[in-house]
Structure 1
């Protein structure tokens, strides 16, 4: 009988059009969406504004500018956008200070990509200081480059973050696979011309041409990613 491990090993040894794998962070590799929601809702609660749980699907996936604008619009809080954004980031940094849990299958997939020397990038709408904190849990050695939301002029759903990551890795976008959990990230990846593997965390994502959807990363392997390009 052929084992999954043996099959994956043989697939990984074949020539492939896959040049790079670009991975989202929050909700995709690490289970931080609860932390973000707690940071956002608790800050607004401190200011006397109760967030409806339905807003969670709206703010998932960032970017922070869009999240802040929406929260200010629905609550009417008397704060400048940069002030509220700073407060949310500070609260989130406090919450993840002791580490964050990885999503099912994330560790095994990253280890497989590293073992096969597949060029990888971590691409997030979160700011650099948050990315660096989360890297302590994920492992910086798994990534050849990282792109934070405050390092691009236009972040997700604009394609710039994924285009920048592909360029840094010397890869053609069409030969990259992006792994995402949120509609904004999927939109950014598809606008960049990348194939997409979606693992929805909060908001629903439907399959589409050039996009496959998995319930989690638990059964995602290098062979699965190579098949997408």
Structure 2
């Protein structure tokens, strides 16, 4: 189930127009994009197929079912999407259970948001069973709400996950700052009408209207996020 804690006052300290911060998980807060690719390579090797590097750029940041369907089509593997999804999730869980490294700047950013009582949500295309495992490394106490890819009818790149997170926090999407690492996640956040900070992990992302691109979470802090909301400088 999506975890929602009521927010009585969505205005953050100092009268900022920023109402909430919505954070992606894989590749943004935790260094797991490599885990996913290693999992996909291993599973397809066992199925008798070799994944090329160009496949990685297509599947990064996407929902599991889309990635599985693409890789089956690209390789001709004799396996159904639901069966492949189960294999990939099970293998990924084995890796995650050994511990997940946080991205540089992630722990500091989460602590800063908590210290200033900024409503914060985790919004991921990963399934709930994966999120709950990764939260053991991140710390579930940092989030008032978490949204998993298998808890919405349409996950990223559709806006639904971010619209659900904003509504759950009682925030206007236009006054939410989203931090994402993939084009798929950026598309979802922008379609929801949020202000976006892109921290590319595997594939480059270009700056655009309403989108700021940085090299690392070490460049992202609360004053920076507040400055992104229209009307606040």
- Deviations 1:89-143 (Å, cap 9, x if unpaired)? 0000001111100000000000000000000000000000000000000000000
Partner of 1:50: helix, strand, or coil? coil
CA distance in 1, matches of 2:109, 2:200: 17
- Structure 2 CA distance, aligned partners of 1:92 and 1:214? 28
Q: Distance in 2 between matches of 1:103 and 1:213?
A: 16
Residue 65 of structure 1 and its aligned partner are, at CA, apart by 1.3
2:51 is aligned to 51
Please state if 1:110 is matched with 2:85.
Answer: no
Rounded to whole Å, the distance in 2 between the matches of 1:183 and 1:196 is 11
Quote the Cα distance in structure 1 between the aligned partners of 2:199 and 2:216: 5
Quick one: distance in 1 between partners of 2:225 and 2:198?
11
| Structure 2 counterpart of 1:202 | 202
Number of residues of Structure 1 aligned to a counterpart in Structure 2: 218
CA distance, structure 1, for counterparts of residue 71 and residue 201 of structure 2: 20
- The reply to whether residue 65 of structure 1 matches residue 65 of structure 2 is yes
Q: Secondary structure at the match of 1:14?
A: helix
What CA distance in whole angstroms lies between the structure 2 residues aligned with 1:23 and 1:48? 36
**Cα distance in 2 for residues equivalent to 1:58 and 1:174:** 29
Structure-2 residue corresponding to 1:143: 143
Q: Deviations over 1:57-81 (max 9, x none)?
A: 1110021111011101101111110
Q: Tell me how far apart the structure 2 counterparts of residues 14 and 176 of structure 1 sit (CA, whole Å).
A: 16
Q: Give the aligned partner of residue 121 of structure 1.
A: 121
Q: Report the RMSD for the aligned CA atoms in angstroms.
A: 0.8
**CA deviation after TM superposition for structure 1 residue 13, in Å:** 5.0
Give 1:14 shift.
2.7
Q: What is the CA–CA distance in structure 1 between the aligned matches of 2:207 and 2:147, rounded to whole Å?
A: 26
5+ long unaligned stretches in structure 1: 1-11
TM-score normalised by L of structure 2: 0.92
- 3-state SS of 1:118 partner: coil
* Correspondence for 2:221: 221
> Secondary structure of the equivalent of 1:51?
coil
* Cα distance in 1 for residues equivalent to 2:107 and 2:57: 26
Runs of 4+ in structure 1 deviating by more than 6 angstroms, as ranges, are: none
The CA distance in 1 between the partners of 2:73 and 2:143, in whole Å, is 37
Distance in structure 1 (CA, Å) of the matches to 2:193 and 2:219 = 24
